[in-house]
A = this chain, B = another copy of it.
Amino acid sequence: MNGYHLAVVGATGAVGTKMIEMLEEANFPIASVKFLASKRSAGKVLSFKNQSVMVEETTPDAFEGVHIALFSAGGSISKQFAKEAVKRGAVVIDNTSAFRMDPTVPLVVPEVNEAALANHQGIIANPNCSTIQMMVALEPIRKQYGLNRIIVSTYQAVSGAGVSALEEMKEQAKALLVGKTEVAANILPCGADEKHFPIAFNALPQIDLFAEGGYTFEEWKMVNETKKIMADDTIKVSATCVRIPVVSGHSESIYLEINEEQATVADIKALLVDAPGVVLEDEPAEQRYPTPLAAVGKKATFVGRIRQDIDVKNGFHMWVVSDNLLKGAAWNSVQIAESLHRLNLIQS
């Protein structure tokens, strides 16, 4: 064969746009691309490797002949079309939460659990953005010492909520900068919820809807997905997810407890310095640590500010940053496709 036929569903969205960019540099042969979106976006013209590609409406038949379909158009679109794509022979890599906790669906961060791809039944789920970067940073430590506990507080960027949320933040920021005291808010913290609050020059401790125990779905995603990806239900995980006025780049303040009393910060750094997908940026004396603005456009997960807890010997703190649209979404999805290709797991 001379390459795969690809489809990107949600091609005009914040993540879809980045998926196309990542596919342009993907490490597998591409015979053709098909860009799918809503009826409203059909007819728009996008570019792929300097060729014009017209956006088509997503329909079941659009997946005829497609080998790999990357979905990022919301959970309801995935629920509606992913199985249609599989029925027509495609492998679906789904960036929504629709199938993540389905026991028949592998939930994959290639640096962590690529082996889980072997058992796929057509759909592979891409984890939540906040979960992915935490897994990349923590897996080398878990493998060496075992992980007993994670407490994470996130500082999440607005691009994770889509293009319109970004536009709204910019309008709000402009208004506040010229001295307006009231600004309109129609999207964040969560388009599906009732009340909306400004994000510009603010921090919103709600991402997604509220669920059991006063935790949001975003927080539960971090808890449940961590246990599935690390294949260990005994790790204690709690999360507090917060949106802050950053364009792209999620940051996380992570506390972890390992099953080892003798490890030092130097040991942890030694594990991370050559870890796959990790860039260690941790030189306090030189003010070297990750920031979201510096991480934008990069595929790596940046780790810094590694410290031993002041009182708990097996406890460590760290600061983990990655581009939520890349490693948190588009790049991890394309990376899964690269793994499927390398492992010969795509029907063609």
A residues whose Cβ falls under 8 Å from a Cβ of B: 149, 151, 153, 155, 170, 173-174, 177, 189, 193-195, 197-198, 201-206, 210, 213-215, 223, 236-238, 240, 242, 244-247, 251, 253, 255, 265, 284-287, 289-294, 304-312, 315, 317, 319
Contact = CB atoms under 8 A, between A and B. Distances in A.
A205 B251 contact: yes
A193 B170 CA distance: 30
A287 B196 CA distance: 9
Given A214-B306, A238-B310, 9 more contacts: A151-B151, A173-B173, A195-B286, A197-B291, A203-B292, A205-B289, A214-B307, A236-B311, A238-B315
Nearest to A286: B195
A68 to B, nearest CB: 33
Chain copies in the assembled complex: 2
B205 A304 contact: yes
What are the 4 closest A-B residue pairs judged by CB atoms, nearest first?
Answer: A236-B311, A153-B253, A153-B153, A210-B284
In this complex, the member of A173, A189, A195 whose beta carbon has the largest number of chain B beta carbons within 10 angstroms is A173
Contacts of A246: 201-203, 244-245
B202 A238 contact: no
Contacts of A290: 205
Given A213-B307, A214-B265, A287-B193, A317 B240 contact: yes
A305 B203 contact: no
A205 B253 CA distance: 9
Contacts of A201: 245-247, 293
A242 B238 contact: no
Contacts of A204: 291
A175 to B, nearest CB: 11
B237 A310 contact: yes
Contacts of A215: 307, 310
Contact of A293 (B194, B198, B287, B319): B198
Given A155-B155, A310-B215, A291 B236 contact: no
A343 to B, nearest CB: 34
B238 A287 contact: no
B293 A251 contact: no
B238 A309 contact: yes
A237 B173 CA distance: 35
In this complex, the member of A170, A286, A289, A290 whose beta carbon has the largest number of chain B beta carbons within 10 angstroms is A289
Nearest to A197: B291
Contacts of A286: 195
